[in-house]
Amino acid sequence: MHLSVGIVAGVLLTLTGLTGSMLVFGDEIDGLLNPALLQVEPRADRVPLDTIVSGIHTAFPDRSIDRIHLASEPGSSLEACFAEGQEPACVYADPYTGAQLGTRVPARSLKGRVFLFHRRLLSGAVGETIVGIEGALLIVLSASGVMLWMSGRRPIVRWPSISATTPYARRHNWHRLVGFTALPLLLLIATTGMAMVFRPTFEGTVNRLASSATPRPPTLSPAASTALPSLDAVLQTVKRTAPDAEPTYVILPASPAAPLAVRARMRGEWLPKGRSFVYLDPSTGTIIRIDDARKAAPGYRAGNVLYPLHVGLLGGWPTRLMHCLVGLAPAFLCWTGTLMAWRRLFPRRGRAPRRSSAMAA
């Protein structure tokens, strides 16, 4: 089973592992590659958000803004994305001066393409399903690898020796050593990744077990006026009503019946951008409902911890580095496994692969 599953899934697991390692530090790489768009000089004061939005509307009169990613870090730019389907264009602005820095389609950047391959194999919903199945196959590979180790002639507690008399035995021992060392994090990454791909099913299952449900965003009666309130006043209202909230996005109404929403990170949330939402009436700027992720349904709360666990956010850069290195493990395991399988399936004439004592360790 281990060999068969490895042959079927090895290449894709290698590619998703390599792209995942890159995405662990994707924001930093994106900032280094695009400093003119993403990095600004921090100053003492920021210009009003309404001023920046007004400037964008003036520069792009025929386009409507869908969402605004607020500049949470002192040296980062503000990002306003247009309502343009799956791959919207975004304009970047300096939050301290209001100057527009340029535009791009984030999904077509290096980070965006790497993410789309890692998450969907650049193939939409079908590719995303395949990635989810890959996670299940990685769990099967890990379990079958442990079973093979346990079936050896020597006790499982004995660490495999990396010194051996033949190349085949050395590859075998290195394969087992790297596989066993990376096993805990590989299982964590596989299970959380699979749960993120099938998140609606994951959340729904947890909610059903807890006899709970995640509420849908509120709907409103269409207002007579489509003019939005001051976004600066909206953010002040959110901060005044929910002092623990750190706004990360402003999401503008997509239809006359949709509310104005502010996505925020509440104190104690694991996600850097948060998954709490404050819904407001777009005609008056008054708060309709606050969905605090810390008090949400169990399925929603469980879904919110998947990404931080998947990329190693909880322990800072040391755990992120560990996840980055473990993402390289499938490539090494695929390479050594392929060499061993080739030797077993196509042995040299007159010679069979030697089974040294180290291989049974």
Q: Is the pLDDT of residue 106 over 50?
A: yes
Q: What HEC string does 114-169 produce?
A: HHHHHHHCCCHHHHHHHHHHHHHHHHHHHHHHHHHHHCCCCCCCCCCCCCCCCHHH
The string of DSSP codes covering 228-247 is PPPHHHHHHHHHHH-TTEEE
Q: What is the mean pLDDT of residues 115-122?
A: 97
Nearest to 141 by CA among 195, 170, 182: 182
Closest CA to 143 of 207, 87, 191: 191
pLDDT score recorded for residue 162: 58
Per-residue pLDDT at 71 exceeds 70: yes
| 3-class SS shares of the chain: helix, strand, coil, % to 5 | 50, 10, 35
Instruction: Give percent of the chain above pLDDT 90.
Output: 73
Q: Read off the pLDDT of each residue in 241-269 and give the average, rounded to a whole number.
A: 95
Six token digits for residue 188 = 């964590």
Dist CA 92 CA 85 (whole Å): 19
The band of 188, judged by pLDDT with boundaries at 50, 70 and 90, is: very high
What does pTM read for this prediction? 0.88
Query: In which region does residue 326 sit, left (phi positive, over 0), alpha (psi from -120 to 50) or beta (all else)?
Result: alpha
Chain Cα centroid distance, residue 40: 25
Buried b (16+ CB within 10 A) or exposed e, 239-256: beebeebbbbbbbbbeee
- Of 225, 308, 311, 224, the residue nearest 272 (C-alpha): 308
| Digit-coded pLDDT (tens) for 20-55 | 999 999 999 999 999 999 999 999 999 999 999 999
Instruction: Band the pLDDT of 360: cuts 50, 70, 90.
Output: very low
In the block, tokens 């290698």 appear at: 14
Q: Which of 140-144, 158-162, 165-169, 356-360 has the highest mean pLDDT?
A: 140-144
Provide the 10 A C-beta neighbour count for residue 55: 17
pLDDT single digits (tens) 190-230: 999 999 999 999 999 999 999 999 999 998 887 656 788 99
* Dist. CA 7–CA 10, nearest whole Å: 6
Q: 212-234 burial, b for 16+ CB within 10 Å, e for fewer? A: eebeeeeebeeeeeeebbebeeb
The long-range contacts involving 338-342, CB below 8 angstroms and separated by at least 24 positions, are: 338/10, 339/171, 340/168, 340/171, 340/172, 340/175, 341/3, 341/6, 341/7
Mean of pLDDT over the chain: 90
Q: Three-state SS for 100?
A: strand
Bridge partners, residue 80, by sequence: 68, 91
Q: Are 294 and 266 in contact (CB under 8 A)?
A: yes
Give 331 or 86, the one with higher predicted confidence: 331
pLDDT reported for residue 150: 76
